Amino acid sequence: MPVSPIQAHTLKHRSWVAFLVIPPVVFMSLFVVYPILSAFAYAFYEWRGLARGEFVGLANFKEVLFGPTMAPVVWNAFLHNVYALIALMIIQNGGGFLLAWLLYKEPFGYRFHRLAVFVPVVLSTIIVGFLWKLFLNPNFGLVNQALNSVGLDALAKPWLGDSSTALGALILANAWHFIGFPTLVYLAGMQRIPSEIIEAARLDGTNEWQLLKNIVWPLVAPSTTILFTLLFIGAFNWFEIPYVMAGLDGSPFGSTDVLGLVFYRTAFGNQSASIQNFGQGSALATMIFLFIVVFASALTLWLRRREIQF
Amino acid sequence: MGGLLSSMLGKQFEEDIISGKANFTDPRFVNALAKLKDVSQYFAPNFTGVDYPSSQQLFVAGRAAMFAGGSYEVANFTKQNPTLDLGVFPAPVLKAGDQALVATYYDGGYAVNAKSDKKDAALKFVRYLATPEYGTAFTNTLKNLSPIQGIKIEDPITQEVAKLAENSMSYLMLVRFRYQEPSGSVLLQSNVQKMLAGQQTPEQAAAEINKGIATYYKPFQK
């Protein structure tokens, strides 16, 4: 049967599309989808080191969520993730919003400050964690020396060794590291607002607070959507800063333990506990992943709805 | 704990733990923890915020008079500060006349993979690792003890360490309770930290450690 010119064209078009689509799909399947699915599968088996044992169904999940050894550790860590999320939402994203507003108004030297606020974001987390560990050293760290030099010795503390301040210290270090990112995203969002809107509001005599609350905040909603979602994902995957500054056990006595550390200890063991349990580790990782997917999607949908088109 | 409390626990305590005659709520263990809490007033200022590398640095720099550690530190310390004049002593005893002990553990072994295609060469190498020649090089380079008998130790501190090792008990949590969950070391570390921070008493710390280990240690379940 002869091929009509239209059919020939469609065929050519289709092979062209296939040529473009198949390589990335294969690549993604091999290096993204397959590892995720296999980690998911690992969670249903018992492990003896690297050797896969019997299929145990949901036993690993049950142990992680309700087992007398794992459950208290996991829930303690989960609460710290929630705590970090809330605190970073206020300090990192809220602070970023206010900094963006200051930069938006182009005060003296704003070009320098715009750059300066973003510099820490570029640094490696290992360096930032190490730097803050030095700052917070109880005996020769910058923070306590500064307090001592202005006569506030009473406030000087072993910040990372005191269970009431350790997690807060990690959160502040994280906020110092990343505040430049929300600042820049919010600044871009603010610069997208048509200037007539802000001028009109000013002419109508709104004060600064009303302007921020009723005009700027709703109009940077797309920035908020992306920043809140990324922070949510980041807060529940939090690992580097706690690992560098507090160690694998979340010292002191679990005060800085987060899910990422629990996962690492469970799956790969640590110096004080030579057990490696890939099954329970994979079960925990799977649950963290599902939790993030479900809640981050819900959060995104909810945040999307409050965005305004202009 | 091994470094500071071994003499107060005593060899008999280890035997009783193994046989199940005693557990970690035993007065010997609770009292040793209480002593640790007691001497913590002489630790470096703000010690709860001093991590292990910082504590090593304090000692190497001469800003701490004593360091509770193991013989494996000697080479590291003297290399970092060759002028450091240090000596070693066993864990302090409760009362004069008690046996002074150090805690020891077997650390690091060598094995050959049965499926190695260079098995003969590997075995030859491993056999060399068991010779007095290697033991002497090991001990005198790393300033630590070798299990090989009849080695001539040159370093005076290592000689001292060898003498101390004649009266020893196990480094208990590592030797006996490291390989099940929750590990003895994890329990000991977190509960001693809590105790030193004033958030629990030695009795409570001992009870928590015992509770964790009893979940898998058969002699405690009787």
Render pLDDT for A30-89 as a digit per residue (tens, 0 to 9).
Answer: 888 888 888 888 888 888 777 788 888 888 899 889 988 889 999 999 999 999 999 999
B189–A contact, CB cutoff 8 A: yes
Q: Looking at the domain assignment, is residue B122 inside a domain? A: no
Within 10 angstroms of residue B39's Cβ, the number of other Cβ atoms is 13
Q: Looking at the domain assignment, is residue B153 inside a domain? A: no
Q: How confident is the model at residue B45 (pLDDT cuts 50, 70, 90)?
A: confident
How much of chain B is in helix, strand and coil states, percent to nearest 5?
Answer: 55, 5, 45
**Three-state secondary-structure class, residue B216:** coil
CA B96 to chain centre: 23
> Cβ contact (<8 Å) for B183 and A272?
yes
Has residue A310 got a pLDDT over 60? no
Residue A155 to chain B, least CA–CA distance (Å): 12
CATH number of B69's domain: 3.40.190.10
3-state SS, A154-191, equals: HHCCCCCCCCCCHHHHHHHHHHHHHCHHHHHHHHHHHH
Q: Which residues contact B77 (CB under 8 A, 6 or more apart)?
A: B56, B59, B60, B67, B84, B86
Domain of B31 in residue numbering reads as 2-107+166-221
Domain positions in chain A: 64-125+166-305
B74 neighbors B145 (Cβ within 8 angstroms): no
Cis bond leading into A2, ω under 30°?
no
> Cβ contact (<8 Å) for A137 and B49?
yes
Residue A235, CA distances (Å) to A65, A85, A246 in order: 20, 5, 16
Residue B183 to chain A, least CA–CA distance (Å): 5
Mean pLDDT of A227-254: 92
Q: How confident is the model at residue A309 (pLDDT cuts 50, 70, 90)?
A: low
Q: Looking at the domain assignment, is residue B200 inside a domain? A: yes
Minimum-distance CB partner of A163 among B54, B185, B197 = B197
> Cβ contact (<8 Å) for B183 and A69?
no
Q: What is the pLDDT of residues B100-121, one digit of tens each?
A: 999 988 877 889 999 999 999 9
Fold classified for A64-125+166-305: MetI-like fold (1.10.3720)
Has residue A24 got a pLDDT over 60? yes
Which residues of A are less than 8 Å from B215 in CB distance?
Answer: 68-69
Largest CA distance in chain B: 58
> Cβ contact (<8 Å) for A157 and B179?
no
> Residue type at B168?
S
> Cβ contact (<8 Å) for B197 and A272?
no
Q: How confident is the model at residue A10 (pLDDT cuts 50, 70, 90)?
A: confident
Q: What is the pLDDT of residues A243-294, one digit of tens each?
A: 999 988 888 899 999 999 999 998 888 877 777 888 889 999 999 999 999 9
A215 CB-contact burial (10 Å; exposed 0-12 / middle 13-18 / buried 19+): middle
ipTM for the whole predicted complex goes beyond 0.90: no
A272 neighbors B189 (Cβ within 8 angstroms): yes
Which residues of B are less than 8 Å from A158 in CB distance?
Answer: 46-50
**Which of A137, A139, A266 is the mutation pick for testing B, counting most B CBs within 10 A?**
A139
Q: Looking at the domain assignment, is residue B210 inside a domain? A: yes
Start-to-end CA distance of chain B, whole Å, equals 27
Give, in degrees to the nearest 5, the angle at Cα A70 between A65 and A71: 45
Q: Which two tokens stand for residue B95?
A: 């009362």
Residue A45 to chain B, least CA–CA distance (Å): 18
Residue B199 to chain A, least CA–CA distance (Å): 10
Q: What is the pLDDT of residues B66-82, one digit of tens each?
A: 999 888 898 899 899 99
Q: Which two tokens stand for residue A70?
A: 């794992």
Q: Looking at the domain assignment, is residue B131 inside a domain? A: no
- Residue A306: the pLDDT is 83
Q: Looking at the domain assignment, is residue B192 inside a domain? A: yes
